[in-house]
Structure 1
Amino acid sequence: MSGKRKPKKILITNIVTLNPGDAAILQGMIQIFRQKYGEDVEIIVFDKLADAASKYYPWASFRQSFFGNEQYGYISRKLKKLGYGHWVRRLRYWRLKFAGYLYLARIGWFSRLLVNRSDRESIRIYGDADLVVSTGGTYLIENYNLSSSIYDYLLTLSFKKPLIFFTQTLGPFDKEKNISVFREIFRKSNIIFLRDERSKKHLLEIGVSEDKIVIAKDSAFAIDANKLELIQDSERSKPLKIAISVRSLRFFESGKQGVYENYKKCIVSMIVLAVEEFDAEICFLSTCQGIPEYWTNDSALSEEIYEMLPSDIRKNVFVDGEFRQPLEIIRAYKNFDLVIATRMHAAILSFVAGTPVLGIAYEFKLEELFDQLSMDKIRLSISNMSGESSAQLLKSIIENLDYWKDQVSKIQTSCRKEANSVIDRLPS
């Protein structure tokens, strides 16, 4: 034997990389895995929209995930129309599981009777993998349909592969069927990385062992921005420049019409304050934009809010709808004095860039992040924000901008270190 080390094969699952925030998570994960396992580690990303993801992110290797965007035949479409769609996915799971058993038993050619060529190749990849990683992010919450993730985990476990959960915000789990299945999935997993204590509490409530849980920072904090040619503060030109990230609240309780309308009006109030009192230049620039294949486009809401502005204010406001890679978003946010962020990864990538953030929390993950960073004083909550309080907070931040820049500078290194802390806990 030569003794040469065989490169690790890692699968990343349950991701929709068309969300550039999730692309930032992916980029951080890849960087972490290469640090742990070497530059020759093979990383395959099973994305729910793999073809489109390949177009926008050529730096990653994508395959279509088993669940989440299945192509249905005539009979399956009929069953879905009759209300039996759950049986279609369940039968697909059993076919894939049995095909996996055949592959592991070295008689995979029988699987031609069960699944198509693409699925057989994906089964082979799963069978040869050393580690399966459920991507970081916020998708294991009951606002969303969790069935595709559940079947993906059950299939992974049927292959007897190590399963880990990367830095998550998740729960609470209130539905009995979810509690039962996730308790078992988490019990069989190797380790669960979480972003916050509240998510940990949600897992403990359903009986998950505390020994499996590790708190760490979002993997996007691991992105090394030092290689970017970033503008230095001494080179910054006036006037004051503020970027704003907004988002649809369709899946959330905060998306109720009255709350949503108030949210938009509060954004207007902050823009008016910034322009009238500080002659600021405002740019709507979010993380989820410029990708027509994705279900949402933040710049559409930006345009809607722009139209709500008084005409004399609009001359200082610009809507940027361009798609950017995660590193390009960091570079863009570095050119601003402040970012008003509803998207969590707009906030994280701003911090990576060294730019202060006024956070707007629409769910608990952003609240937890700002509390961890001792920046809860510069965070609003969609549930109780008002035009006056929003404008006053913005004014306070602008008047103390040097202080907040210094605070961000202090937390950058610690956040990167905490994101990379998972390296020592990954399987060898």
Structure 2
Amino acid sequence: MFWGNGALRVLLFGGFGVPNIGDEAILHGLSAFYSRNFPATRLHCITANPNYSGLFWGRGSTSHHFSDILLHLRADPTIRAALYALDFDALWDQLFLRPVDTNTQSHVHILRRVVAQTDLLHIAGGGFLRMPHCIEVAALLAMIAEKTHKPLLLSGSQIGPFDPETRALSEYYLQRAAYCDLRMERGMEELQRLNVRHSVSTDDALLLALAPAPLRTRYTNSSQASIRINVQLGYCDGEHEQNKSTIGQVIALLAAHRGKSASFRILQCFPSPPVSDFDALSPVIREFDLDPASVEYVDLSYMHPVDAISEVAKGDVTIASRMHAAVLSFLAGRPCYSLTHGDGSGDRIEFIHKQFESVSVSPFALASPSDIAQHALEVVAGDRAAIERKLRRQANRLANAKARELGAIISKLSGSPIARRWQLPN
């Protein structure tokens, strides 16, 4: 099953939808996970999105873009019809046995060859079951895995709500999986209905804690007279409008405390969204007459995930509406307060908070502005280093538990032994 040196051969597929720090983080985290748990792993990384860099996915890995497959699937009515009819014999014949567009045929055969030389197919990250253009490629990979008798593992992805057009493809894809380790979100009942073996992940980016060396960040703001707040509003107009008033109230409450000054670090997790977090906060900045020098804009969207954690660590606390910033904040050892978000991120952040409930200074899930302001002031006035140590210790405990779970599943699926040197300090 393995190459002569006993290496585990893994095909890691990710990069769905819009490039963002969250999907980069899970790919980076999983490549680090394999390097720790299965040191001889040969890793191939592929993506359906040509905008992904593939630079963060592990040393010695190779990456490919397969956007041409996607274009051909959507353009060829015969192939598309076979895909949506779940007629995979016809699809296999059309893709691999008949002449097709030269460029696409080249890509498809590369994909088939890579899968054939792989021990495990691991698909990770993204809300791909919401995006027809992504589930089509994922279903194609599942078909090739089934035809070549390769196990399929899913990690860190959102499930549901299913798109009506792609429900049958989604169900086929999920039922091909030997195991699912997915985000806590709507749709878990679908997995139970389909009788898919699954577990609920703490969340995708928490796998960053599996990096080969424990991340070490320390508070650089030693002043108790000032507080630095990381702010991440969201992705679209609705989120910004919903959350700007909360941020404004927090600013007002902090400004009411004499002798305290606040500066704000705007965290951008998605590249070039319809409205940037900085633009959305500009009216708040003007309304409260903030010094522009007290507002810093930080673009995390194409940043190496470890560097992103270091940037988040420059703040004292974080206010976030998306999981990306919330999990990065916890991994940086910084308390995080959750803003509401309509796509379920608020629920996932609350789930994360519950994992940290043993921390004496607990972050607030879906907190009120007065809670956020009061707790932020307590953080600055207290032992920030102790808070950081407690959050990091809990993150390492969660990461170790996830490593044991995933490692055992992968070892069982592949027959490859697990290394015993990956434990992170508690």
TM-score, structure 2 as length reference: 0.76
Partner of 2:424: none
Change (3 A) 1:261 1:234: closer
C-alpha displacement at 1:134, in angstroms? 1.1
SS in 2 for 1:187: helix
Task: Map 1:384-423 to 2 at 5 A.
Answer: 390-401=368-379, 402=382, 405=388, 408-421=391-404, 422-423=406-407
Q: Which amino acid letter does the alignment assign opposite residue 46 of structure 1?
A: I
Partner of 2:207: 222
Match of 2:311 among 332, 340, 358: 332
Structure 2 CA distance, aligned partners of 1:245 and 1:144? 28
Q: Which amino acid letter does the alignment assign opposite residue 356 of structure 1?
A: P
SS in 1 for 2:128: coil
Any conservation in 2 of the 1:361–1:379 contact (CA below 8 Å)? no
Partner of 1:192: 180
Structure 2 residue 344 is the aligned partner of structure 1 residue 368: no
Change (3 A) 1:169 1:36: same
Any conservation in 2 of the 1:100–1:159 contact (CA below 8 Å)? no
Structure 2 residue 20 is the aligned partner of structure 1 residue 19: yes
Structure 2 CA distance, aligned partners of 1:330 and 1:355? 10
C-alpha displacement at 1:330, in angstroms? 0.8
C-alpha displacement at 1:208, in angstroms? 1.9
Structure 1 CA distance, aligned partners of 2:99 and 2:6? 28
Partner of 2:198: 213
C-alpha displacement at 1:132, in angstroms? 0.8
SS in 1 for 2:92: helix
Match of 1:158 among 147, 152, 155: 147
Structure 2 CA distance, aligned partners of 1:169 and 1:8? 27
Partner of 1:347: 326
Any conservation in 1 of the 2:112–2:144 contact (CA below 8 Å)? no
Change (3 A) 1:281 1:144: farther
| Structure 2 unaligned spans of 5+ | 416-426
Match of 1:312 among 289, 308, 313: 289
Structure 2 CA distance, aligned partners of 1:314 and 1:68? 50
C-alpha displacement at 1:327, in angstroms? 0.4
Any conservation in 1 of the 2:243–2:339 contact (CA below 8 Å)? no
C-alpha displacement at 1:69, in angstroms? 5.0
C-alpha displacement at 1:207, in angstroms? 2.7
Structure 1 CA distance, aligned partners of 2:11 and 2:408? 19
Change (3 A) 1:414 1:200: farther
Any conservation in 2 of the 1:361–1:367 contact (CA below 8 Å)? no
C-alpha displacement at 1:219, in angstroms? 4.7
Q: For 1:343-382, what per-residue CA distance to the aligned partner results, in whole angstroms no more than 9, with x for missing partners?
A: 20211111111111112242132232223433997122xx
Structure 1 CA distance, aligned partners of 2:107 and 2:298? 38
| Structure 1 unaligned spans of 5+ | 103-109, 381-388
Structure 2 CA distance, aligned partners of 1:237 and 1:329? 23
Match of 1:274 among 244, 254, 262: 254
TM-score, structure 1 as length reference: 0.75
Change (3 A) 1:153 1:246: farther
Task: Map 1:22-421 to 2 at 5 A.
Answer: 22-38=23-39, 40-50=40-50, 52-54=52-54, 61-65=62-66, 69-70=70-71, 76=75, 87=81, 97-98=92-93, 115-141=104-130, 146-173=135-162, 175=164, 178=167, 180-196=168-184, 199-204=187-192, 206-209=193-196, 212-224=197-209, 227=213, 230-233=216-219, 236-237=222-223, 239-249=226-236, 255=238, 261-277=241-257, 278-289=260-271, 296=273, 300-309=276-285, 310=287, 312-315=289-292, 316-321=294-299, 323-362=302-341, 363=344, 364-374=347-357, 378-380=364-366, 390-401=368-379, 402=382, 405=388, 408-421=391-404
**Superposition RMSD in Å:** 4.0
Q: How many residues align?
A: 387
SS in 1 for 2:281: helix
Any conservation in 2 of the 1:271–1:282 contact (CA below 8 Å)? no
